[in-house]
């Protein structure tokens, strides 16, 4: 005899989990189990009690700061579980009361109705690489702010660097020649430079960690292949794959573009169609590095010595996709610029098409499945 299904909604917090469950029938009651401790032992105890009713359990909870520990625990034990993005949960606009109990009941009810869509859950190794790339991104942000503080301090005192390349060796030599009327100002500049040096060393250490650990990662062949594209450095390629996982899970390049929020927003009503700026939904980490990579297509198509080294030993099929990307994206930049389009709009368009070529390269690489 086939078991009936019970849908369980979990409202997960750091120290507690609110549990609610709904019978499989559409008209079945949605009941609150109550609040339990936020650990797996307490959750297992709830599972045993619910299973005693003779139902098959299907779980759902919102993605949040507590990560995927509950998902992995339930999946290892053979339970069906989905993690849902909060932004994709249907909500009634008229409701003004929000409690943990109501949230758990809402998850159970919507899961039963089939209204919830699970997000991609990375493997443990993929999540570890993602943590590493995000740590480097955070360190790079701190370094950037340290540079901004130094420039703002110098500007207040009338110093402006006239050289071509900021933060080059020549720039640092110029900084060492600056003189201020008060010793306190010398101390501020020196402390700021020391802080910048520490930030830069941290970025370098994390970059080296990424470089050393990459060959052990199952997605390393894809990361290598993506670097055959112009503008896609080691960090851009690693960030993209660490954040998104296997790109072949997207059915088409358009689906990937939409997931990254690089497609134009649209408002259509009747015969009127209005398109606006890109949606900026989805993964902002990948969108940021793709926009940075897109700037390299401002210049005419060519294979530089640096890009040639990255393409050494790569299959001809992948190199051909890379060259096709250069020809198309460089020409597209030139055409849009000739039409008078704003640089920001052009770069968004280039980034959108660039992720399509990355999707094509991922399909050309054989990678082990998780």
pLDDT at 220: 96
Most distant CA atoms of the chain, gap in Å: 89
pLDDT for the residue 268: 74
H-assigned helices in 177-313: 183-213, 220-226, 234-244, 253-259, 284-294, 305-311
Residues 267-283 pLDDT 10s: 777 777 777 788 888 89
4-113 has which CATH code?
3.30.420.140
Q: Around Cβ 334, how many Cβ atoms within 10 Å?
A: 15
Residue 345: both structure tokens together? 């709009």
Listed in sequence order, the residues at least 6 apart from 330 whose beta carbon sits closer than 8 Å to its beta carbon are 297, 299, 300, 301
How far apart (Å, rounded) are the C-alpha atoms in residues 353 and 257? 8
Q: pTM for this structure? A: 0.90
Ramachandran bin of 114, using left for φ above 0, alpha for ψ from -120 to 50, beta for the remaining angles: left
Please, which contacts does 53-58 make with residues 24 or more away whose CB atoms are closer than 8 Å?
A: 53/6, 54/3, 54/4, 55/3, 55/4, 55/5, 55/6, 55/23, 55/24, 56/3, 56/4, 56/5, 56/6, 56/80, 57/5, 57/6, 57/8, 58/5, 58/6, 58/7, 58/8, 58/111
Q: Which two tokens stand for residue 370?
A: 């998780």
Where exactly are the structural domains of the chain?
Answer: 4-113, 124-216, 220-363
Q: What are the C-alpha distances in Å from 351 to residues 156, 222, 262, 355, 364?
A: 37, 19, 8, 6, 20
pLDDT at 28: 77
Provide block-wise average pLDDT over 10 residues at a time, the chain (370 residues): 85 96 83 95 96 91 95 96 92 82 95 93 95 98 97 96 94 95 95 97 98 96 97 97 95 94 81 79 93 96 95 95 97 96 95 97 80
Q: Which residues contact 224 (CB under 8 A, 6 or more apart)?
A: 237, 314
Cα–Cα separations (whole angstroms), residue 116 to 78, 82, 83, 146, 250:
20, 8, 9, 43, 19
Q: Dihedral angle at the C-alpha atoms of 32, 34, 40, 46, nearest 10 degrees?
A: -60
Nearest-Å Rg of the Cα atoms of the chain is: 26
Report strand pairing: 16-23 vs 264-269. unpaired
**Which pLDDT does position 88 carry in this prediction?**
86
356: which 2 tokens?
A: 């399509």
Strand 4-12 vs strand 272-278: parallel, antiparallel, or unpaired? unpaired
d(CA 350, CA 343): 10
Q: Are 189 and 317 in contact (CB under 8 A)?
A: no
pLDDT at 346: 96
φ/ψ (deg, to 5) at 81: -150, 140
DSSP 300: P
């Amino acid at each position: 005899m086939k078991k009936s299904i019970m849908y369980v909604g979990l409202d997960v917090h750091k120290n507690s989990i609110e549990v609610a469950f709904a019978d499989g029938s559409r008209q079945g009651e949605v009941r609150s189990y109550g609040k339990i401790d936020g650990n797996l032992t307490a959750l297992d105890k709830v599972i045993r009690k619910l299973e005693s009713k003779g139902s098959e359990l299907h779980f759902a909870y919102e993605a949040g700061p507590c990560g995927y520990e509950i998902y992995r625990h339930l999946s290892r034990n053979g339970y069906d579980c989905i993690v849902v993005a909060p932004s994709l949960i249907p909500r009634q606009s008229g409701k003004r009361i929000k409690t943990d109990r109501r949230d758990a009941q809402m998850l159970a009810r919507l899961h039963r109705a089939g209204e919830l869509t699970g997000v991609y859950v990375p493997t443990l190794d993929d999540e570890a690489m993602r943590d590493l790339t995000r740590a480097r991104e955070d360190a790079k942000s701190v370094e950037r702010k340290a540079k901004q503080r130094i420039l703002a301090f110098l500007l207040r005192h009338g110093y402006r660097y006239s050289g071509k390349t900021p933060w080059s060796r020549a720039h640092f030599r110029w900084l060492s020649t600056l003189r201020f009327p008060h010793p306190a100002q010398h101390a501020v500049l020196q402390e700021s430079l020391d802080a910048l040096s520490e930030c830069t060393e941290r970025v370098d250490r994390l970059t080296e960690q990424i470089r050393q650990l990459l060959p052990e990662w199952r997605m390393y062949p894809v990361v290598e292949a993506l670097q055959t594209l112009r503008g896609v450095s080691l960090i851009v390629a690693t960030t993209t794959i660490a954040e998104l996982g296997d790109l072949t899970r997207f059915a088409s390049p358009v689906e990937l573009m939409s997931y990254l929020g690089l497609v134009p927003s649209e408002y259509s009503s009747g015969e009127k169609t209005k398109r606006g700026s890109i949606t900026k939904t989805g993964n902002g980490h990948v969108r940021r590095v793709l926009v940075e990579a897109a700037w390299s297509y401002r210049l005419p198509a060519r294979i530089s010595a640096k890009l040639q080294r990255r393409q050494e030993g790569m299959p001809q099929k992948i190199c051909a996709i890379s060259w096709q990307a250069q020809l198309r994206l460089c020409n597209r930049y030139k055409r849009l610029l000739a039409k008078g389009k704003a640089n920001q709009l052009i770069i968004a368009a280039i980034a959108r098409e660039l992720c399509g070529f990355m999707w094509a390269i991922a399909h050309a690489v054989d990678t082990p499945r998780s």
